């Protein structure tokens, strides 16, 4: 028998409903490949996936979920453990790793009742979060509205960043690196502070504010 014909028959036997009102959803987890089929409802919004940062951490740390259609979620869980949460905007949800959580995917129930599951598990680490520390940031000077890369330790729990006492937006990259977005209305030089529920770290040197280009 032609092996290609045999493989074609096998595919038809495994997925008899594809093309007749069923949607094949491919879920790829870390080190695992699993396929499942779900009924397709034309009236339902399209399923979305979301990512999260940081990828690992201890109970209590802040985790930000990011994706489409995450506004006004109904619930967030780490595995079977419910977690506190709040919507930051239409595409981001802030949550904290609950006590008793184990390594598992994160699930979120949307405003419309859909359950979204992260493609990879969140890795729960043993122990308690440590206070943050700042190793360095660069560049050491720049105009208001620019970006500064900051490195340190235990940054995964950061909930607030301040530059010269002014609150600044930030993007967490890993538990040792984040990007600080210098406030556009900053008017003075000063140190950078990262604030977590477990402590605050202040840079040993000040960020030196320079005049915007052209001034």
CATH code 1.10.238.10 for 133-209: no
Any idea which residue has 């940031």 for tokens? 137
Q: What is the residue extent of each domain of the chain?
A: 1-43, 46-127, 133-209
Q: Give residue 201's pLDDT.
A: 96
SS3 84: coil
Q: Do domains 46-127 and 133-209 have the same CATH topology?
A: yes
Binned at pLDDT 50, 70 and 90, residue 17 comes out as very low
Instruction: Yes or no: say if 207 and 163 are a contact pair by the CB < 8 Å rule.
Output: yes
CA distance 126 to 153: 16
Residues 1-29: what's their mean pLDDT?
38
- Percent of the chain exceeding pLDDT 90 equals 53
Binned at pLDDT 50, 70 and 90, residue 159 comes out as confident
CA distance 52 to 29: 14
Q: Give residue 126's pLDDT.
A: 86
Instruction: Supply the mean pLDDT for the chain.
Output: 79
The region, left, alpha or beta by phi > 0 then psi within -120 to 50, assigned to residue 199 is left
Q: Give residue 2's pLDDT.
A: 52
Residues 38-56: what's their mean pLDDT?
61
Nearest partner of 115 among 68, 87, 73, judged by Cα: 73
pLDDT higher than 70, residue 172: yes
* Selected residue with higher pLDDT from 107 and 33: 107
What pTM was computed for the model? Answer: 0.57
For residue 211, give both structure tokens.
Answer: 């005049």
pLDDT higher than 60, residue 125: yes
Binned at pLDDT 50, 70 and 90, residue 12 comes out as very low
Any idea which residue has 């040792």 for tokens? 176
For residue 179, give both structure tokens.
Answer: 């990007």
* Architecture of the domain made up of 46-127: Sandwich (2.60)
How far does CA 93 lie from the centroid of its chain?
8
72-119 confidence digits (pLDDT tens): 899 999 999 999 999 988 889 999 999 999 999 999 999 889 999 998
What's the CA angle centered on 177, arms 181 and 160, to 5 degrees? 50
pLDDT higher than 80, residue 144: yes
Residues 46-66: what's their mean pLDDT?
82
């Amino acid at each position: 028998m032609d092996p290609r014909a045999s493989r074609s028959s096998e595919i038809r036997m495994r997925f008899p409903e594809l093309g007749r009102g069923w949607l094949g959803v491919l879920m790829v987890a870390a080190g695992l490949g699993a396929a499942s089929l779900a009924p397709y409802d034309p009236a339902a919004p399209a399923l979305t996936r979301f990512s999260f940062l940081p990828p690992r951490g201890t109970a209590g740390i802040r985790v930000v979920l990011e994706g489409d259609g995450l506004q006004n979620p109904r619930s967030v869980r780490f595995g079977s453990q419910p977690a506190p949460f709040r919507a930051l905007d239409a595409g981001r949800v802030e949550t904290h790793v609950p006590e008793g959580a184990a390594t598992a995917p994160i699930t979120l129930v949307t405003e419309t009742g859909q359950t979204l599951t992260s493609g990879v598990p969140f890795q729960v680490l043993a122990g308690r979060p440590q206070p943050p520390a700042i190793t360095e940031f660069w560049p050491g000077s720049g105009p208001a509205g620019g970006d500064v890369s900051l490195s340190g330790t235990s940054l995964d729990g950061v909930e607030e960043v301040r530059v010269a006492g002014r609150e600044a937006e930030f993007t967490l990259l890993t538990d040792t690196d984040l990007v600080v977005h210098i406030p556009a209305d900053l008017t003075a030089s000063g140190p950078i502070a990262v604030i977590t529920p477990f402590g605050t770290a202040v840079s040993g040197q000040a960020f030196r504010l320079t005049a915007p280009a052209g001034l």
